[in-house]
Structure 1
Amino acid sequence: MDFKIVTGKGALVIPGLQTVRPLALTLNETELKVSCVTSQGIQVIVDGVVIYKIGDAPPFIANAARRFLGQQPKMESQVYNVFEGHLRSIIGSMTVEEIIRERDKLASLVRSASGVEMEKLGLVVDSLQIKDLQDPTGYIQNLAKPHIAQVKMEARIAEATRNREAAEKEAEAAALIADAQSLSAIKQSAAQANAEQARAQAAQAGPLADATARQQVVVQETEVAKLEADREEQKLQTTIRKPADARAYAQRTDAEAKKAADISAAEALAKRTELEAQANARRVELEAQAAAGAAAAMAGATRVTGEAEAAATTARGNAAASAVKAKALAEAEGIKARGEALETNQDAVISQQIAENMPAIVSAAAEPFSRIGQLTVLNGGEGLNSMVGGILSQVGSFLPSLASALRGKETPAPAPVKRPAAPPKAPDA
Structure 2
Amino acid sequence: MSQQKGSPQKLERGLTGRHVEMIALGGTIGTGLFLGAGRSISAAGPAILLVYIIVGLFMFWMMRALGELLLTDPNRATFVGFIEKYVGPKAGFIIGWTYWIGWITIAMAELTAVGNYMSFWFPNIPIWIWELCFLAILYGINIIAVAAFGETEFWFSMIKIIAILAMIATGVIMMVLHTKTSSGVTTISNLWQHGFVAHGGRHLLSAFQMVFFAFLGIEFVGMTAAEAQDPYKNIPKAINSIIVRILIFYVGALIAIMCIQPWTNYSAGKSPFVQVFSGIGVTGAAGIINFVVLTAAASSLNSAIFTTGRMLFSLSEGKGYAGKLNRRYIPFNAINISTALIALAVVLNFFFPKNAFDLVTSIASAAFVVMYAVLVFAHVKYRRTADFKNGQQLFKMPGAPVTNYLTIAFLIGIFLILLFTPETMPTTVLALVWFVIMIIISLRIKSKK
Highest Rg: 1 or 2?
A: 1
TM-score, L = length of structure 2:
0.15
Q: TM-score, normalised by structure 1?
A: 0.15
